[in-house]
Structures are given as structure tokens and as C-alpha cells.
A and B are shown apart, each in its own frame.
Chain A
Amino acid sequence: MSEPGHSGAAFARGPADADGGLDPAARAGYADHPPRMGFFTDTSVCIGCKACEVACKEWNAVPEDGIELTGMSYDNTVGLGASTWRHVAFIEQPVTAVADATEGVRWLMASDVCKHCTESGCLDVCPTGALFRTEFGTVVVQDDVCNGCGYCVGACPFGVIARREEDGQAHKCTLCYDRLGAGMEPACAKACPTESIQFGPLDELRERAALRVADLRAAGQDQARLYLDDPDDGIGGGGAFFLLLDEPEVYGLPPDPVVTTRDLPSIWKHVGLAAAGLVATGIALGFGRRK
């Protein structure tokens, strides 16, 4: 691709960043670019206020997408979608009785968002180039290019991106690309009252997260773990990663996501062999004799 940002091939591994992971912006063709920016969402301090959901909607002019009670929990947003770019999950967990424990339930709250994957399935499969990699290493949809083919929707291992009924196009979190360009932090991080949502250069966030999870574990939270912080995981690490207090699937997250395009060489190989088989069949038919 002549212009930066559109190189999709996740399987063509390229330049590495400082901690051994891929540098998505450099791989996308930005010779000189700012540090990779991202989110560290520390769910251990989330209070479920949903300020992030509101701030995101307000700043990005994301339309209303249903004001209904689910009846399942305090979560009436249900999940990420074309018109929900931050989503706060609420989990009420019964806790095992221990002598000095307060009775009953522990609350898990977590603000979910697009992971801005290092190896990004939605970006890889987008046939129009509407999805592109920014100089900050994030993944953004261009509204004026997307033709609503919907391929990205099925390619995301997290169920983040979706097609909006009203305009037929795919939408998701932009990590406030416009605010980043102006040197501001994303609206959700700005609005978060507990600093559960932290924004910054990804390598700094990873350092901070490692310290935080060590502190929590030392304090007895032995279920605390980081999710998508590892550049060696199935998506090459997330530009947005999380500190969770239970297994990912408890929060609606896949426990071991792998970007679909890692298997593309194998997929194309088998398509090629099958097509070659058809060509050979055709040639064999051609040499059959008319009886």
C-alpha cells in the first residue's frame, strides 16, 4: 500500500517495539510516529458509575441505542456495539463463606472497550480500507469509506465492532482519535472518577499495570490478573488491556482470543489446492472423448 495505515497483513510480521512486541504503526508504514497510545483499564477500582459510557457518547455524538431494563443486573447497556463504545459490566458473585467475611456477594465492575489489537482482525479483513491503523497504533473506521460489508463484525474475536442499523456502516471506539491529535486524553479516561481507565503510552501503562497486579496479589487478591497485556498472546497484545479479578469469560471476554488472520496462510493454501483440483477436473473433462 502506498499510503500508511492500510497494510493489513497480520501474518507478515514486521518491526518490533521496545518490549519485543510488534510496532503496529511502523508496520503500517508510518516512518516517524508518536509512541503507541492505549488504555489500561484497572477494573479493581471501577465503581460502575458509567461516566465513561456517557462521556464517550457525548464526545463522539454516538446515538442512543435503546433505553431498556435488562432485568439481569445493573447492566442495561448489555455489550459493546455500533453505538456503544464503552460498556460497563456488572457481575454479582456469591462468595465462599470465610469466618470474618461480610456476607454474600462481591461486585465485579469492568469498563470494556475496543482492544485496538496489535494484530487486528477487523482491519485485516476490511476490503475497502475504511479501517486503518493510526500513527498512534490505534484502529479507526473512516465513515466516508465504509460500505457496510460487515466483514469486520464477524472477524473481531471480542464482538466489539458492529454495523449500525441507521446508516448501515460499521462503528467502534476510535480511542478518541480527534482528541489524541489535539494532545488531549480520550473522553472516557478524562471522565473516569477513580482512574480505573488510564490512558497513556502503552509501554508506560504496561509497567504501571505490572506493579498494580503485584500489589493486589500481595494484598491477597490471588485472582487478580492482567488480560491482553502480553505481546505474545493471540492478538499480539491489546492497545487496550485490563486488570481483571476473575477469569475473562466472567466479564464476557474470550479467555484465549486468537486473531483469525493468523491462519490466513493455511486458509489460502487450502483454497488454492481446492481451486487447483477444480482446474484439473476441468482439464480432465476436456480430454474426455465424445462418445
Chain B
Amino acid sequence: MTEPKGRGAAWTEERGTSHEGPPPPAARPARRRLKAARRREESRVPDFEFTSYYGRPVIKEPAWGVPDVPGYLFLGGLAGASSVLAAGAEMSGYGELARVAKVGALGAISLSAVALVHDLGRPERFANMLRVFKPSSPMSVGSWLLTAYGPLAGAAAVSDMTGILPAAGALATAGAGLLGPGVATYTAALLCDTAVPGWHEGHREMPYLFAGSASCAAAGLGLLTVSPAAAGPARTLATVGAPAELVAKRLLLRRLGEIAEPYETGRPGRLLRAAELLTVGGLAGAVLGRRNRAVSALAGASLLAASALTRFGVFEAGLVTARDPKYTIVPQRRRLDRRGMN
């Protein structure tokens, strides 16, 4: 009876410690090691041999395009948090800032809608999003959110700019301010409710990361366009949003453990490192440059750029974890081994 190589043999064979039988042909399913990306983590994440089908991915890479979808994540966050800022600024008497935030929200949400429709395989069927309402589909929830939020953001901006129907404008501002946080954060559910390991496993932290990043974007737009003296609430928003984002990102990476690798290496790693520097710099500039128009504006631009880079980084890091089978197989195999099955 021919004894197929059991897992024990296969697992150790690559290390050359107990090689028996004929040498493996070149074209056999890949056996590779998931290595700890960061040297300081090597003690925490031991090497793990695993098997795949010729190195092919197990899951499909999401069909979502770059820059459409990460751009949408950024713009939706900018819009949603800008509506929050607009409502807060209006209430506390910062009219100029409120106006900028309302116009920014309208512009961002309009652009984001274009990006969303453009990313559809059948753009002419975008209205099919409203055939059903499904809480099990974050995209369905998001479509309905946008349908309610978009007109409110539009009415708030138009009323402010033209002075028409101020009472309705105030109501729309409040309504957009209430729905904006949903628009800014549901996109975390959109990413995390997938089989993509680098997104799904971070679902407890991603919404806070996105809320913080959106706050930075809205604060950044305010600081960039309004004089420091008139941008008080934007500065406050930055001092809340930036630390929230930085802390959430740390927690996210800790949660992801070994599948955090793409968040810290390669192109997404570079994007996220740049984002972090710009966030810290932007926060410092916003606080320290409160009497200097140029410093304040630069800080605003930094925060805006940081938010965009964060979304692109998170999006692309997730794609890497979809492309390489190790991120799918190794955590599942560990889970099985812990349960003592197979």
C-alpha cells in the first residue's frame, strides 16, 4: 500500500530536516512559509509551513477598482464628517466655517457618487441598488444612507449659499449632520463584511479608524480654506479625530497580528506610513499654527492628504491579503489545529 505523504512529513520537508522519497517536482503545489514581517515580531509569530494549490489565491480579489473605491472611501468620509463639522460650527456661531463645510460635503458626496457609479460593471443599472433594503448588505444600507443624505447635504449647502429657505436649510444641516457619521463609517462595514482577511479580521477597529480619518479630512478642509481665527471647531475636530485615528490604527494592526504584514510593507505600508506622518504633522500644525494662516492651511492640507492616503493604504493592504493564499490559509489552519481537528 502506497502511503501518501501525511501532513507531518510535508510540513517538515521544506526545512530539509526529514526529506525522504523522491525530490519534489518543480511544478507541485507550493509549500511556503509565512514569515513574520517585522523582525521585532519574530518571537511572537512563529514560522508556519503551509500548503496551497500552486500558490494560487484561495479567494478572489474584490472586483473594486483603484482609484474609484478608495477614492470613494475618502470622499464619503470627507462629506460625512464635513456635515458634522458644519452642524457644529453653525450651532456655535462659526458661519464661514459652516458654509465651507457644507459646500465641501456637497462637492465630496457628488464626486463620490460618480466614483461609485463608475465602478459598477453595469453603471446604467445603478438604480437597482434601491430595489431592496438588506441590512445584511452594507452596500445596500449605504445606498439608502446616501439616498437620504445626499439631498440633505445638497439642500444645506444651497440654502446657505443662496440664503433661500433658511429654516429648511437649518433642518437640512442638522439632518446631514446626523446622517453624515453613518456615511463616514458604514464604509468600514463595506470592507470588513468580505472574505478578505486583512479587512474582515479588523472589523472591530476599522470603523473607528474610518471615523478618525474622516474627521481629519473634514477638519483639514476647514483649516485649509478658513482663517485660523474662524476655524476653531475644525481645529477641535482635528484634535479629536487625529488621535482617534492613530490609536485605532495601532489597535487594528495588533488585532491583525501576522496578517498586518501588508499594512506595514510594500506600497500600502508606504502609503500608511506617509499618512501617519502627515496626520501627526497636520495635528501639530493645526494646534501650534493657530495664529498663522499659512501654517494652519498647510496643516489642513496635510490632514486632507493623510486621510486620502490612509484609505488607499487600507484598501490596497486588503487586496494584498486577498492575492496571497497564505493570509487565507494559515490563520484558518491555525484555527483548525487549535480545535484539534484534521
A residues contacting B by CB (< 8 A) are: 1, 6, 8-11, 71-73, 78-79, 81, 89, 91-98, 100-106, 121, 124-130, 145-151, 153-163, 167-170, 220, 223, 225, 245-247, 249-257, 260-261, 263-264, 266-268, 270-271, 273-279, 281-291
Contact = CB atoms under 8 A, between A and B. Distances in A.
Contacts of A126: 134, 137
B237 interface: yes
Nearest to A261: B136
A129 B189 CA distance: 19
B232 A254 contact: no
B120 A148 contact: yes
Interface string B272-284: 0000000000000
26 contacts: A9-B136, A94-B5, A96-B4, A96-B20, A125-B193, A127-B132, A147-B126, A147-B129, A156-B59, A157-B59, A162-B63, A163-B63, A249-B329, A263-B203, A266-B203, A267-B193, A267-B207, A270-B188, A271-B186, A274-B188, A274-B211, A277-B181, A278-B184, A282-B84, A285-B89, A285-B91
Nearest to B182: A275
Given A249-B51, A285-B89, A8 B1 contact: no
Contacts of A125: 136-139, 193-194
Contacts of A245: 4
A95 B2 contact: yes
Interface in B27-53: 27-29, 50-53
Nearest to A9: B136
A253 to B, nearest CB: 7
A72 B332 contact: no
Contact of B53 (A10, A91, A100, A158): A91
Interface size class of B (residues with CB under 8 A): 35 or more
Given A249-B58, A288-B232, A255 B194 contact: no
The 6 A-B residue pairs with the shortest CB-CB distance, nearest first, are: A148-B121, A168-B121, A285-B88, A252-B53, A150-B63, A286-B91
Contacts of A225: 342
Given A247-B51, A261-B193, A285-B89, A275 B184 contact: yes
Contact of B63 (A103, A153, A266, A283): A153
A277 to B, nearest CB: 6
Chief secondary structure at chain A's binding surface: loop
A288 B92 contact: yes
B129 to A, nearest CB: 5
Most B CB within 10 A of own CB, among A124, A161, A167, A245: A124
Contacts of B205: 270
Contact of B208 (A10, A91, A127, A277): A277
Given A256-B332, A289-B92, A278 B136 contact: no
